[in-house]
Amino acid sequence: MTARLHRPPVRGWRAPEGAIYVGPGSRWANPWSWRTRHALARVPALDGSEWELETRISSAGRTHPYLHPDGRVTPHAIRYLTRQESVDLYRAALTAPTSSVRLWQHCSPHLTVVDARRELAGRDLVCRCALGQPCHADVLLEVCREPIGEIDASTS
């Protein structure tokens, strides 16, 4: 059974044999790392939902008005994504990417569920997130455990 392992911030630590590091700096890292300028939420979202990814403003704690085409003005606050929101965004980008939410916006080729299954299935995954915290490595483990037919259907 595969598992998520914690990579402690200790010099000289080595991952168990066969484990793959998916944390910051790896190709599988979460681009919306917790409490970074890339992981900001606009509250409320323009479509009325609770939040959405903010890609234009680069600091939490700011507010800005949004002028709608019909003349309405909606105030929005900018805050950091929670850990769970960051993981949810990673799941959406990996399993159902859109033009605004996909893994590695400016890189090609984009990572897919098929890539994850091919490279990570059956392996332990190592990340810097504490084991009690939400982590994108859990998303990768879930995707790799799905039967192949379900993955093919979800990526078509």
Domain boundaries, the chain: 4-34+82-155, 40-80
Say which residues have a Cβ less than 8 Å from residue 128's Cβ, sequence separation at least 6: 6, 7, 9, 23, 24
Q: List, for residues 13-38, the tens digit of each pLDDT value.
A: 888 898 999 988 888 988 888 777 77
Say which residue, 54 or 102, is predicted with more confidence.
54
Strand order in 52-54's β-sheet?
Answer: 52-54, 40-43, 73-80, 63-67
SS3 of residue 77 by DSSP? strand
pLDDT of 59 higher than 50: yes
- The predicted-structure confidence for 119-143, as pLDDT tens digits, reads as follows 999 999 999 998 999 999 999 999 9
Q: Write out pLDDT tens, residues 80-130.
A: 999 999 999 889 888 887 766 655 554 546 788 888 899 999 999 999 998
Contact 28, 139 (CB under 8 A): no
C-alpha span between 32 and 37 (Å, rounded) = 8
